[in-house]
Structures are given as C-alpha cells and as structure tokens.
Structure 1
C-alpha cells in the first residue's frame, strides 16, 4: 500500500506540474486540445489541462533576417550575383495564420525574391543595376508584403546588400575607370603645362620689354652725357674734334680698366694698344670726311638731258644761264 500511494502521489505531482508552463518574451505558444487548435498563449506563466491540452508549437515574434543569393542576367548580357536581405516578423494578431497556413516561410520568401529580382534586373543594364538597387529592393518589399501578409508575416525591410558581377567584367570596369582617370589627369596636366608656358612667355616678353627700355634709357643718357661733355670742353677752348678725341680715348681706357678689374671676365677688347683710341678716332674722322666729299661731288656733277628728236644728249649745268645756241 505504501508503494502504491507513493506512486500515485508522484504521478499526481507530475500531472500538477505539467499543468503549468512559461512563455518567453517575444514568443507565442499554440495550444491544441485533442489535435484541434485551442488558443494562443503569450509571454508569462500559463495553465493547460494535463493529458488533454498540449503545446503544438512556439512562434518567434522577433524580427528575423533572411539572406537570399540570386544569380541573374542584366539587359547587356552580364551575369551578376545579388544578395538580398529580407527583414520580416510574425504579426502578433496573426500567429494562427503564420503557424497553420505556411509551413516553410523561408522557402516562400526566397521564391518571391527570386521572382521579383529576375523580373526586374533583366530590364536594366549593369550600370543601372548599381544605381537603381534601391528601386529593386522597394519592388521586392512591395511584392513580398502583398503575398506574405495573408500568411501573417510583415516584411519590415528589404536591402540589396551586394552586387557581384563576373570577375572578367569587374576587371574590364576597373580598366575603363583607370583609363578615364588617366585621361582626366592628362588633361589637367596638359592644361597646367600650357599655363606654365604662357606665364613663362609673358614673363620673358615683359623682361625683354623692360630690358629694351633700359637699353634705350641707357643710350639716351650716354648721348646726353656726351653732349654735355662736348659743351663743357668747348667752353674751355677745346673744339669739337678735339673733344671727341678726348672722349673716345677716355672711354677706351675706362673700358680696359673695367675689364682688368674683373678677375672672372673672359672678354677681350680689340684693339687694345695705347694708340687704339687715336686710331679709331682718326678712322672715324677720315670716314666722315670721305663721305662728305662724295656727297659734294655728287651734288656738283652736271645732269645729262636726253633729247627725244635726235636721241642725242647734252650736258646741262643748272648754274650756266647762257644760251645753249
């Protein structure tokens, strides 16, 4: 009797304890009675009838994420692999639909994602796929919401997290991008070189202009100094020829002195004899005298007039006023 009572007591304790169960936060429990749906229990301590009611399953109410890998082709015949991340959860008021109407929700979501992506991407070229990936994600979310809402699932968000073209296509794109950047760099470098050349030419032109002005001013001052020197020498009784000779000789020896003072000079002044100044002056005076004589001779030479009638020419002196007959 004692053993039987102990067994009944232990069995009673087991039955009593099995009447209670707990449900975690963000979880719902489906209770069935003799295989038929009875109720949905939410988080907390719950009670059921032992041996009659049973826990048919637990439904996770947290936001879940499903990553779907898809291989498809673009409009320009480029095969790409896309990764679409779908974030979804079970609607708390539709736990019954989520548990009984859909057995494999991940497979259902994957099928809809494949259908939408393979319908949209072939309409776009590769560059547009990268630019309009958000439009593709919005299209996937809209299609999934319409289909999965019936089964008690809410699509929170869809993201196109990766677009991976074929390796050869990526290499070609990288080469195109590199060539375009090199072209842009070459254009900027050419423009910079042109600006440097123009600036250098302007600087040289300005330098030549200033140099020419300096030379002109220098020669103007030298000429003014020579005039003043001649006037000063004339005032003390030295005529112009003697003054010119003195100035030439003075400048000649000043030049020789300046050359000798510079140890790094490679300039040699020819002629550099003591008579060089006098010789140059005499040559200049002789040249001027010869030029004046030639000019006077040409002025005094009679002109020859050619008659049209007898084709004979006579000498005509404009200074002769006598009758030629």
Structure 2
C-alpha cells in the first residue's frame, strides 16, 4: 500500500494542476466539455473539470487594427492605392459569436473593405478622393458595422491613412501645381507693373499740369509787366506804339546778352546783326502807323454810315491772378 501512495499523490497533483488555469487581462477563454460549449471565462484564476473540460480557445478583447491596401480606379481613369486602417474589437458579451460564427475575422473585414472602396472610389475624381476621404472612411465603417455586428465584433473607427496615385499621375499633378503657382506669380507681377505705370502716368500728368500752370503764371506776369511799362512810357510822352516797339527792342538786346553770358546755351536768335534792332524797330513803327491809318479810315466809314462805336471802360485789374474780362464794353 505504501508503494501506491506516491503514485496517488502524483496523480492528484497532476489533476489539480490541470484543473486550474489563468486568463490574462482583456482576454476571454472559451471552455468546452466533450466538444460542446460550456462557458466563457474572464481574466483571473479559473477552474475546470480535469480530463472533462478543455480550453477551446482564447479571444483577444483589446482594440485591434487591421491595415488593408486597396487598389482601384477613379472616375477620371486614374489608378490609385488606398490604405484603410480598421480598428475593431470583440464585444465582451458576444464572445460566443466571435469565436464560433466567424472562422477568420481579418479576412472577412478585408473583403468588406475591398467591396466598399471599389464601389465608392470609382464614383469620384482623383481630386475628390483626396477631399472626401472622410466620406470613404464613413462608408467603410457603416458597411462593416452592419456586417460584423452579427459576428460579435464592433468597428471602432476606420481611417483612410494613405492615398497613393500612380507615379506618372503624381508627376503630372506636381507640374499642374507648379504651373498654377507660376500663373499666380505672373498675375501679381503684372498687377505690380500696372500700378507702377499708373503711378508714373499720374505723376507725369501732375507735372504737366503744374508746368502749364507755371507757364500761365509766367505769361500773366509778363503781360502785367508790359502793361505797366507802357503806362510808364506814356507818362513821359511816348505813345503806346513807340513804347511797344521800344520794349520789344529792349527784350531783343536783353536776350542777346543772356545768350552771350551762357556758354552752354543752344539758343540761336535770328537775326542777330547790329542793324537788326533798328530794322525791327522801324518795321514795328511802320506796322503800327499802317494799323492806325486803317483804324481811322474804318472809323470815318462807320461815322458816315451812322454807326457809333462803343466806348470802353477800363476796370481796375484785380490784385490776384489774371482776369480775362479786364476790359468790358458798354
């Protein structure tokens, strides 16, 4: 009897060890008895009947991620590869369905992702695929939730993590973007050049206006000076004709003197002989005399016809600026 005692103790120890098992955190163990489902055990130390119950399998309750790469064609006939990341989890209360109803959950999810992507992307152009990638992700999640809920799986989130067109398409897209940027740069440069031209034209117009105003002021002052000079000469017994001729001759000689003083001047005064002043003065006096004779004859003719000439009343010249109505007829 003493010989069988160690054997009995050894067998008892083996039976005790085989009846105790440990389930890790975020894991569920499926127990079967003679091939039939018995229970689901959660994390911690668990017991089972030795030689009768067995652990059929363990289910991971953590959130898992599956990356699926799908190659498809867009509406504008561009082949593109999309990387879809699916985050899924086994529902804790549906471990039985997840273990017994679905043989390979990852292949099942992959098949649904292929189906949804290849039905949605061909409806979009390449640019729309980049802009509406969230819509693709939502469509994948919706389809997977409807399909995988019956198998005890919950789809947490789906993400379109990469969109990779054909290499030639990417090169063409880069050329298009570069051309667009060059076009925008050219438009800005043209606008800047236009602003410069407009500003230059405005400056030139303002310069011409001020120049014209200066010339007008200069001529107005010259006219005022000539008028004052004629009045001064009239006061000393020189009539208006002789005074005007004298002023012209004086200006002629003043100009000659100015030309002689400036060695870099390009001005040429013709004629410039010593007799020019005398000839100019005689010509002007002769012109004034002829003008007076014509005026006297017209006056006599008008008086013979009964036409009375209008008298002129000289208004005082305003102190500021030039007045075009300096003489008014009454």
TM-score over 0.5 (shorter chain):
yes
Measured after TM superposition, the shift of residue 111 of structure 1 is: 0.7
Aligned length: 296
Offset from partner CA, 1:29-57 (integer Å, 9 cap, x none): 11222322111111222222233222222
Aligned equivalent of 1:267: 265
Aligned equivalent of 1:128: 128
Measured after TM superposition, the shift of residue 118 of structure 1 is: 1.4
Q: Superposed, which structure 2 residues align to 1:216-295 within 5 Å?
A: 216-232=216-232, 235=235, 240=243, 244=247, 247-248=250-251, 251-252=254-255, 255=258, 259=262, 266-268=264-266, 270=268, 281-292=277-288
Aligned equivalent of 2:178: 178
190-199 vs 137-146, which moves further: 190-199
For 2:249 and 2:145, how far apart are their aligned partners in 1? 114
* Stretches of structure 2 lacking an aligned partner (at least 5 in a row): 302-330
- 2:61 is equivalent to residue 65 of structure 1: no
Q: Residues 249 and 277 of structure 1 are in contact (CA less than 8 Å); yes or no, is this contact kept in structure 2? A: no
Aligned equivalent of 1:205: 205
Q: Residues 75 and 122 of structure 1 are in contact (CA less than 8 Å); yes or no, is this contact kept in structure 2? A: yes
TM-score (norm 1): 0.77
Measured after TM superposition, the shift of residue 6 of structure 1 is: 4.5
Distance 1:18 1:69, change over 3 A: same
* Stretches of structure 1 lacking an aligned partner (at least 5 in a row): 261-265, 302-317, 319-325
Measured after TM superposition, the shift of residue 3 of structure 1 is: 7.5
TM-score (norm 2): 0.76
For 2:123 and 2:216, how far apart are their aligned partners in 1? 78
Please, what is the CA RMSD of the aligned residues? 3.5
Q: Secondary structure at the match of 2:262?
A: helix
Aligned equivalent of 2:138: 138
Offset from partner CA, 1:121-174 (integer Å, 9 cap, x none): 222232332233222222211211111111111111112222211111222222
Q: Secondary structure at the match of 1:149?
A: helix
Q: Residues 230 and 243 of structure 1 are in contact (CA less than 8 Å); yes or no, is this contact kept in structure 2? A: no
Q: Residues 86 and 158 of structure 1 are in contact (CA less than 8 Å); yes or no, is this contact kept in structure 2? A: yes
For 1:105 and 1:173, how far apart are their aligned partners in 2? 38
Q: Residues 89 and 155 of structure 1 are in contact (CA less than 8 Å); yes or no, is this contact kept in structure 2? A: yes
Q: Secondary structure at the match of 1:162?
A: strand
Distance 1:284 1:51, change over 3 A: farther
